[in-house]
């Protein structure tokens, strides 16, 4: 029998935790037998001293064992899922899920809500009139069989240990611990039961991981966890120094996603959607299908409309718009050489598109639209960004977060950063 202090001291002193210590502490914490302050101390010891591959793998397995596991084996087609570590303007799940479904691979996409400057997929979809995020497991299975794609909230039954630990990490300065980030993401994704998983690990100012080395370490850790659990897992490292597309905010990102499904949309959103689709299809054994052809055919748009209708939404209804807008104009003429993802994300959040606490409401119409991307020529006085909100009092703080958030240079030779910075496979 173990006790919490023994486990804390072992990790504090730099030792590896045994399988039985890990199994015991995760189970005891989930049941309430290990106190929050004790788990906080252990989380800090893990942050400072790390874990090896065996420990992280066992920790993840213990978190999965704390709840239910889903099984899609009864479906008539293979499954693949995508997880993004979060960014600004990251609406990729919206066009990606129906696209992959239209290619013959089912997508069970359990998504979350936004917190802080990163947007949440469920918040975006909830701006569609009637759409609902909460589905039972039976509803989810039926929709996967009939439509091929579902984007919904994870039920409380998946990795309840993670839910408890996630809230604790948030208030104890231990969010950055790679073993805890990796096991948090992967326990939910493995418990979800998908056959293949593609990770989109964001790097840059608007991402959780600011530098490539740390992002690479996180990607390698998560790919190893998936591989150890028997899930075909690949990660792409993608740039999040500049926000994706031309919009950040809930309804405006839905509109942009629909543009992509209609065969248009911003080039970077299309590029990343297709790159992730190819990886998902390869993982599910369907490399023979070209997602670019399926996107051009309109079949992905059909799948989108079916998916939205299946969850009570009206895909043809007008999307909500904000009551007030404000243009931020270019202060000079030249080339836009930088548009900082974090500055844009903070502005969208302050306009009402995001939340500071889990229970805060969000505005469907709030957000930021930018009219130029790095590399584009701009003219003094032209609208550079348009801010949207229902509450005019929010403009001042949003504008403050954009102060210093972009550069315009007269003689600049602009060099674009590639969108996909690297790939990690088993």
Which residues belong to the active site?
A: 83, 162, 169, 184, 188
DSSP string, 107-171: EEEEE---BTTB--HHHHHTTSTT------HHHHHHHHHHTSEEEEEPPTTS-HHHHHHHHHHHT
Helix axes 212-228, 178-191, angle to 10 degrees: 40
CA 277 to CA 315: how far, in whole Å?
Answer: 22
Q: Do 112 and 154 touch, CB atoms closer than 8 A?
A: yes
SS3 106: strand
Neighbours of 34 (CB within 10 A): 21
Is residue 371 a contact partner of residue 382, using CB atoms and an 8 Å limit?
A: yes
DSSP, res 339:
E
CA distance 79 to 108: 7
CB 88 within 8 A of CB 345: yes
Residues 73-84, buried b or exposed e (16+ Cβ, 10 A)?
eeeebbbbbbbb
| Residue among 110, 89, 126, 107 nearest 314 (CA) | 126
Rg (CA), the chain: 22
> Measured between alpha carbons, how far is residue 329 from residues 30, 44, 378, 379, 384 in Å?
52, 45, 10, 9, 5
């Amino acid at each position: 029998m173990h006790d919490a202090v023994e486990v804390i001291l072992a990790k504090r002193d730099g030792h590896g935790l045994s399988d039985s210590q890990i199994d015991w502490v995760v189970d005891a914490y989930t049941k309430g037998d290990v106190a929050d302050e004790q788990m906080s101390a252990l989380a800090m010891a893990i942050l400072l001293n790390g874990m090896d591959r065996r420990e992280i793998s066992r920790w993840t397995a213990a978190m999965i064992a704390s709840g239910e596991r889903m099984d899609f084996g009864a479906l008539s087609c293979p499954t693949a899922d995508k997880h993004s570590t979060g960014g600004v303007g990251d609406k990729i799940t919206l066009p990606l899920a129906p696209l992959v479904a239209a290619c013959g691979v089912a997508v069970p996409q359990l998504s979350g809500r936004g917190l802080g400057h990163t947007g949440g997929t469920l918040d975006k979809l909830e701006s569609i009139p009637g759409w609902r995020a909460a589905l039972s497991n039976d509803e989810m299975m039926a929709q996967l069989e009939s439509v091929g794609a579902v984007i919904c909230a994870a039920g409380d039954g998946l990795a309840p240990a993670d839910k408890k630990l996630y809230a604790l990490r948030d208030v104890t300065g231990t969010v950055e611990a790679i073993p805890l980030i990796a096991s948090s993401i992967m326990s939910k994704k493995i418990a979800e039961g998908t056959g293949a998983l593609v990770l989109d690990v964001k790097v840059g100012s608007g991402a959780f991981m600011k530098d490539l080395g740390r992002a690479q370490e996180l990607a390698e850790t998560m790919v190893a966890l998936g591989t150890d659990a028997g899930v075909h897992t690949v990660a792409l490292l993608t740039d999040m120094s500049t926000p994706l597309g031309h919009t950040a905010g809930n309804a405006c990102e839905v509109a942009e996603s629909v543009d992509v499904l209609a065969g248009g949309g911003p080039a970077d959103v299309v590029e990343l959607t297709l790159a992730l689709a190819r990886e998902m299809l390869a993982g599910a054994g369907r490399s023979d299908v070209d997602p670019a052809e399926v996107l051009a055919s309109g079949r992905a748009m059909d799948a989108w409309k079916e998916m939205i209708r299946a969850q009570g939404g009206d895909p043809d209804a007008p999307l909500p718009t904000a009551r007030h807008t404000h243009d931020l104009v270019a202060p000079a003429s030249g080339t836009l050489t930088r548009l900082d993802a974090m500055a844009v994300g903070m502005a969208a959040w302050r306009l009402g598109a995001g939340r500071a606490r889990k229970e805060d409401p969000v505005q469907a119409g709030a957000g930021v639209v930018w009219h130029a991307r790095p590399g584009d020529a701009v003219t003094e006085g032209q609208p550079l960004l348009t801010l949207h909100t229902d509450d005019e009092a929010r403009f001042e703080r949003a504008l403050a977060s954009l102060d210093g958030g972009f550069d315009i240079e007269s003689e600049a030779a602009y060099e674009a950063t590639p969108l996909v910075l690297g790939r990690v496979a088993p």
